[in-house]
Structure 1
């Protein structure tokens, strides 16, 4: 299976022609899965109904499998952040597509990189995806899983510094936690990690204000990635800072939940059809993210539609709040916040006493009907969380005199 390389076309019209021959193969492949065989595969994608997360949950675990089990390379599940997890599975050929899509970062992955992966491994795809892409580039991988108690923030900062890590992959929020932990360890994020050249981020909200704050803290570019466990990487940031959909590998459409209309561009919920997927073909898979897709020229020359990811349906308020918080002056030092809706919005920020009044006043003026509360540093993210070193994570049965043996056979 030959995969198109980034730049194999020079117009949106050529991009559309590139998609067409693959669509027939996708429809044929889908007919081999029990789910689509029972539903019926339409003659064209335009005739296909949406495939929803509920469909994937009903088909758990292998109702969407279109190859023999022996052909599978890996099995994964989503995080379940919006309900029960969904299953997904990939062949070796699927992984060639997944890894190469992830590697389409404008700063690139190189053989001389030391690449720290700080997202979950386990059943989620995100850590495995970055790991596979880095190994294909010849980079050295540091598997710093953010769900493992064996990798607390104090240890991560040490590794980041001592190993001369050049590139990282994490949630955007993680990079703020690292900055706080680095300062507590006596490091300056912008000056004491000279090997660092880029931060790859994805999986949580990244507005312009948050991106600018992270880049100021670390002194390196923040390169955004957007995707889903069920479909892999769907978009990446170009040198101009715009997020482009990988439309040569995945047909991307927009669904209006009110009218039911599905269009190539506009505002609504993202719908994707991967074009190079053997194990688990998906026809018009409805990702529950609100997006805005547009086809317009970009100075990067990629000829790919760009996308603004507005968040899960109903999450626009969170995006707006994030922009307000990270638009506060940098000297206030606000990195962490939380909010709760109700009769009146409650917003808490972590800020030093000398900036408390100014920060609260600025946010109240910007947002309006909100009750802002300031807590001192450590009030939202405890200092102990950023400085603690965990014990070796092995169960024990034999303890010495005076030891707390209630920890026997536990991982902690």
Structure 2
């Protein structure tokens, strides 16, 4: 293999399910050989008993996040350490880390998958990357994809004190940012920060072409609200630190699994059955993962997968991502999920100005707080209360708060001075900050 990625399948190289299946089967044997080199899979596989086809994979046990934690740091490694290019850990890991590592060859596949944006990326673009760098994959992945396309990358890491929201808005406006990558919530906060700086999000950023988003479930209602605020398409991406990009959006607005680069199954945790499509948890076997092969890795994300035809002509399965079922909470006899509740909040009329909200599921009622200007509070409260009752059949207490309550104005406008550590201070200076970055 080489670093150019020329060996990798490209969109348009297959013409239907049979061609796609042939691509998968051809690469699967190499994937299995790579997996057999890792200490973890060496215990599950023997050279004489490797699965002969994708259908035979179902005989293997699922790989879980706990397996990755139990084999930290190098129990999943299938290549010599000297061949590694990067090491990462996923977010939200409790206890032992969830490790991931990639070779330079792996990165060719990673960057190409992320760069599959229907709107295109080129050397004409100024690309703001506003997701974490550090140990997570997300920022590095977008950065690599942007450079692969020749774009100018602005590394706006959203975990850095050096990049407050006021600076994000200034950079977007002054540099003429054309593309961004962030979680969807960031796009709403930028809109509020832009307004606080005297800018109109949909009018004063004329170079902006699209907002790339991922990292959290996105309902059609919130997506539409973001798109109307900024006046550009919102293009969704789905993946993980352990796998890289797994799905991207076509020009028709449907999310397609990159089934030329990975095998996908839908797992029903109640019955233990698996299928090619339907609803359940997404299980993935990356086909071009050399450093850390994963066989039947359960992402534990609730999804719906379909092989229905799409007019885009990509000939790839479609997926809807609902997030984790564990994030649902009981109120009375109903289960409240963020996905369903978010759809109700962002179905409120745009004229109400609701961008930020939060909710708490109590045993007997659902508490919801929304930021809304004074003139729309009564209407917003009444409409949201009614829609929650109609949808979930549970009582709710909707509180309408003044703008600036959930997202303080200071968070949108402050520009803190981030200094380097020092040990020598003069009279009257606060030496409590010695050695610290803040």
Alignment of 1:327-366 (within 5 A): 327-343=347-363, 344-366=365-387
Partner of 1:27: 32
> 2:99 matched to 1:73?
no
Q: What are structure 1's unaligned runs of at least 5 residues?
A: none
2:429 match: 403
- Out of 9, 12, 20, the residue aligned to residue 7 of structure 1 is 12
The Cα shift of 1:370 comes to 1.3
The farther-off stretch of 43-52 and 176-185 is 43-52
**Distance of aligned partners of 1:176 and 1:81 in 2 relative to their CA distance in 1, 3 Å threshold:** farther
Shift of 1:407: 1.8
Q: In structure 2, how many angstroms separate the alpha carbons of the residues matched to 1:75 and 1:69?
A: 11
Given candidates 365, 379, 382, the residue that maps to 2:405 is 379
Query: Separation in 1 of the partners of 2:121 and 2:96?
Result: 34
The answer to whether the Cα contact below 8 Å between 1:149 and 1:393 also exists between their aligned partners in 2 is: no
**1:53 positional shift:** 0.3
State how many pairs are aligned. 412
CA distance in 2, matches of 1:402, 1:163: 39
TM-score (norm 1): 0.98
Give secondary structure in 1 for the equivalent of 2:326: coil
Spell out structure 1 runs of 4+ moving beyond 6 A: none
SS of equivalent to 1:203: coil
Q: Distance in 1 between matches of 2:106 and 2:180?
A: 24
Bigger mean CA offset, 211-220 vs 76-85: 76-85
Deviation at 1:83, TM superposition (A): 6.2
Unaligned runs of 5+ residues in structure 2 are: 2-6, 52-56, 329-336, 390-394
Deviations 1:142-171 (A, max 9, x none): 000000000000111100100000000000
Partner of 1:218: 230
Residues 79, 85 of structure 1: 8 Å contact kept: no
Alignment of 1:10-409 (within 5 A): 10-40=15-45, 43-44=50-51, 45-80=57-92, 84-315=96-327, 317-343=337-363, 344-368=365-389, 369-409=395-435
Contact kept? 2:72, 2:96, Cα under 8 Å: no
**Aligned 8 A contact 1:80 1:86 in 2:** no
Which moves more between the two structures, 337-346 or 172-181? 337-346
Assess if the C-alpha contact under 8 Å between 2:267 and 2:275 holds in 1.
Answer: yes
Residues 72 and 97, structure 2, Cα contact 8 Å, conserved in 1: no
What is the CA distance between 1:38 and its match in structure 2?
A: 1.7
CA positional deviation for 1:402: 2.7
Q: Distance in 1 between matches of 2:294 and 2:187?
A: 33
The structure-2 alpha-carbon separation of the partners of 1:270 and 1:297, relative to structure 1 and needing over 3 Å to count, comes to same
- In the alignment, the residues of structure 2 paired with residue 81 and residue 91 of structure 1 have an alpha-carbon distance, to the nearest angstrom, of 23
How much has 1:40 moved relative to structure 2?
2.7
- 1:209 and 1:335 map into 2 onto residues whose CA distance is 12
SS of 2:9's partner is coil
Distance (Å, rounded) in 1 between the aligned partners of 2:290 and 2:64: 19
The root-mean-square deviation of aligned C-alpha atoms, in Å, is: 1.2
TM-score with structure 2 length normalisation? 0.92
Cα separation, 2, equivalents of 1:13 and 1:360: 52
| Greater shift in the superposed pair: 105-114 or 387-396 | 387-396
CA distance in 1, matches of 2:95, 2:406: 26
Q: Report the Cα distance in structure 2 between the residues aligned to 1:373 and 1:396, rounded to whole angstroms.
A: 46
